[in-house]
Amino acid sequence: MKVLIPSALRSYTERSQAEAQGATLAALLLDLDRQYAGIRFRMVDEQDRIRRHIRIFVNGVQAGDLAQPLKENDEIIIVQALSGG
């Protein structure tokens, strides 16, 4: 599957998109972490939930949790909110 990577996480992938596989969003993120060590922790907290500042979209629809089923031709977009003062 094609995964679009936000600029804040490109230090892991060194590119704006990556390829990963998985039957669920959780499996896909594990595959991404296998390829780019440490990237999953930036998106998933210690309780195995998507971090509050991360939004993950599957074919344009926001995923609610890591159990979201995926199909081989899905497009995954990861968005990271920026904050500042």
Domain boundaries, the chain: 2-80
**pLDDT, average across residues 4-31:** 97
**CATH 3.10.20.30, applies to 2-80:** yes
**pLDDT for the residue numbered 81:** 82
Nearest to residue 43, comparing CAs of 2, 82, 80, 11? 80
Judged by DSSP in three states, 84 sits in: coil
Reported pTM: 0.91
Write out pLDDT tens, residues 55-65.
Answer: 999 999 999 89
Nearest to residue 38, comparing CAs of 65, 4, 13? 13
Q: What are 19's two structure tokens?
A: 């390829």
What does each C-alpha distance from 52 to 15, 18, 37, 47, 48 come to in angstroms?
24, 22, 21, 12, 12
